[in-house]
Structure 1
């Protein structure tokens, strides 16, 4: 059994992202075993109860937690503790995280109930570092007003770029999960004329059509976020970004979440954005969007999760 967690589904109407850090000097393995069983139960139960809800719970595990939990070794080839990427002006910060949960549903009630069940298990042994409630904004746009994830792979390409294959056979079916919480400076952003905003993003705001190369700046987001290998083949990641916000507190942002079959693709994109091509020619969107978190996880296959469920480990 190599079945993947549901990392290739498209963003749903409502989402909760949750990051946890294990407490020190506490036995965590029994709680983790219960979590593995819970993740399987939640996905199966809601598929039966609400078959058209596209509901899913995906769990990612950080490098240190992987070791602490005595999960299979050697580790997934590119699972490590994320290190900050510092450019001339902006930094992709690195922040802690042992477990990440990506909860999707058509109804926020489902996401809320799933996180409540997860919290009941984790609360005695871990601290919640982040809880972000995302929502679909109009026709899949970010708070900045542009469609988000236009360059995402579609159809079978999603699995090709998101799921680990035979290149790391022990972890086939898994996926590298990288997340960042961005807050937007909307006061400065909304002062820009639409034409100037389009040159920051590299696309027309209303139609979502990419700007012609002749007028698209080389430091636009669409220019620097495009990744190719050494042979010129395009590399992609599966983004499930969601907007979130508390307008009364002037806090609005985007939760960037990327699934990929290798973290090096995502890391190369981050280097292009924050350091720039050439160095100093950074992604202009960063002048209006600040990364406040940055963490890498691995979402193992359901086969691995099943091997560590409370029922399986007690056999």
Structure 2
């Protein structure tokens, strides 16, 4: 479906295309063994818009938002609707040196705001409402780092689609899956960086690995290079020569006192195979064995697949 057609579709998605924020929380939970766990979680998710409004009204300029995504194993218990066509558990990708691991996760809350205190307050109230129906398996607090750079020092998210292209590439179209139109497939990974090792590399080698200049973010032409850069491995072109995009909202995170530095990757897409192909290229290589050299300094410690339904679907959960 063309982006022009999307603009005429009366489907209200979640705030997948919210602007890059200064602060974010990535909260992954699993359903507990409590008898009413799924019912309670479903009810809270159904009123997530009300909670956003309650906290966000304190400062409208804070632009608080929350995207709720549900994992494959929890879909039947929580959504109780036909499963989206491409939703399945995260598939581990094992290369010759590095592995994209799969980790537990039933529901993902992607909380964003211009103020860290608003993210904190929303998460606090959310977890109070969920109570013992869930167990937190990962909580990562992200922040914007200078001019949207990651902790490796490079600008992140340069190739994100813009304008109407965001809906075209990030949201499921009615033609593809009418029952789940306006939703989005979500893939997340938490990476921990070896900053000491990375910083020991010459800037020229760092640029070759990433595929961009470090200072001014100019794309490098590495077609003739003996090994593909991260930029090239993450560019997905199908057999018809069409380049497929995803919408990233990655965030740096870290605790210097604990020696922890990382990037939280989150990719929204209309087709989950696009993101999965990126991971195949990165961890296995293209050609096989020529993996993404960035992985020598960035280790994936989580991995999950989810689906973010349209708002109208979420609202039915409260009924």
Would the TM-score normalized by the shorter structure come out above 0.5? yes
Structure 2: any 5+ residue segments left out of the alignment? 1-9
> Which segment drifts farther, 117-126 or 32-41?
32-41
CA contact (8 A) 1:16 1:103 kept: yes
What per-residue deviation string (whole Å, max 9, x for no partner) do you get for residues 58-105 of structure 1?
Answer: 1110011112225211x1001011120111111100001001000000
Instruction: Provide Cα deviations, 1:186-243, integer angstroms capped at 9, x if missing partner.
Output: 1110100111110110100001001123665533100100011211111000000000
CA distance in 2, matches of 1:100, 1:53: 21
Give 1:283's aligned residue: 292
2:275 is matched with 266
Distance 1:4 1:285 in 2: 34
In the TM superposition, what are the counterparts of 1:135-284 in structure 2 within 5 Å?
Answer: 135-166=143-174, 167-213=176-222, 218-284=227-293
Instruction: Decide which of 112, 118, 133 is 2:120's aligned counterpart.
Output: 112
SS of 1:124 mapped into structure 2: helix
TM superposition shift of 1:45: 3.9
TM-fit CA distance, 1:38 = 3.2
When residues 123 and 25 of structure 1 are mapped into structure 2, their CA distance, relative to the original with a 3 A threshold, is: closer
Cα pair distance change 1:70/1:112, threshold 3 Å: closer
Q: How does the TM-score come out when normalised to structure 1?
A: 0.94
CA distance 1:10–1:217, change in 2 (3 Å): farther
**C-alpha distance in 1, partners of 2:79/2:119?**
29
The alpha carbon displacement at 1:126 in A equals 1.1
Aligned pair partner of 1:94 in 98, 102, 107? 102
Kindly state the Cα deviation for residue 30 of structure 1 after the two structures are TM-superposed: 3.0
The alpha carbon displacement at 1:291 in A equals 0.2
The structural deviation recorded for 1:256 is 0.2
> Matched residue of 1:97: which SS?
coil
| Aligned: 1:33 with 2:42 | yes
Separation (CA, whole Å) in 1 of partners of 2:167 and 2:58: 26
Whether 1:7 and 2:16 are equivalent positions in the alignment is: yes
Q: C-alpha separation between the residues in 2 aligned to 1:280 and 1:153?
A: 30
The answer to whether the Cα contact below 8 Å between 1:37 and 1:306 also exists between their aligned partners in 2 is yes
Q: CA RMSD in A?
A: 1.5
1:62 aligns with 2:67: no
SS at match of 1:130: strand
Asked whether the 8 Å contact 1:217–1:223 carries over to 2, the reply is no
Structure 1: tracts of 5 or more residues without a match = none
1: CA distance, partners of 2:255 / 2:309: 33
- 2:5 maps to what in 1? none
Checking the alignment, whether the CA contact within 8 Å between 1:85 and 1:93 is kept in structure 2 is yes
The number of residues matched between the two structures is 309
Separation (CA, whole Å) in 1 of partners of 2:226 and 2:136: 40
Matching residue of 2:26: 17
- What is the CA distance between 1:52 and its match in structure 2? 2.8
Distance 1:134 1:23 in 2: 26
Match of 2:47, SS?
helix
